[in-house]
Chain A
Amino acid sequence: GAVVSQHPSRVICKSGTSVKIECRSLDFQATTMFWYRQFPKQSLMLMATSNEGSKATYEQGVEKDKFLINHASLTLSTLTVTSAHPEDSSFYICSAGTGDVTEAFFGQGTRLTVV
């Protein structure tokens, strides 16, 4: 199956700093990438949808100035958590779509801890 690589898998940062998470589709072109966050024992929550070359569409309640998403190419999307605070600590997961809505391939996820 298609491979999506997400990096880093774990990151610890100080409160107030910014963290960038990368999501790459290794063997296919991802026309759409999705970013999710997941709190312990809760379902995945969609944060935003990004299409290559255009601005991301954010879900209600997600601060676009805090969670910056860039989808500069068909194989790379980045999520930057700006001015991170402890409440931003979570598991962030990306998934990449090929254009077939039934296909979505997940990255490995990033465990962010803000101290």
Chain B
Amino acid sequence: GQNIDQPTEMTATEGAIVQINCTYQTSGFNGLFWYQQHAGEAPTFLSYNVLDGLEEKGRFSSFLSRSKGYSYLLLKELQMKDSASYLCAVFDSNYQLIWGAGTKLIIKP
């Protein structure tokens, strides 16, 4: 079966750095997405990785290792508004999006 694992919940402090991990087992791979979702709202796009390595975009970075079936989202200089759920999703061989259950990130002052 196809499976995406990410932690259910994480807590971090304002101003700090947090890394949210995602591991996947899918039938084929055509890219990995990270989305941010605030409670009661639709997801918003953060990043897309299809090649190994680190993609940096402002305070957010996303890393991919295809051989390990592993990605992480790194958030720096955390702000209270970063409190949200972070969803990892993978395109399988048919370009079907397989979604993780999301990681709820709680930021404390």
Contacts and interface: CB of A to CB of B under 8 A. Distances in A.
Contacts of B44: 106
A109 B101 contact: no
A54 interface: no
Interface residues of B, number: 22
A13 to B, nearest CB: 18
Given A106-B42, A106-B43, A107-B42, A43 B87 contact: yes
B42 A102 contact: no
Given A45-B99, A91-B40, A109-B41, 4 more contacts: A1-B45, A6-B42, A101-B91, A106-B43
Interface of B: 4, 30-31, 40-45, 48, 50, 87, 89, 91, 95-97, 99-102, 104
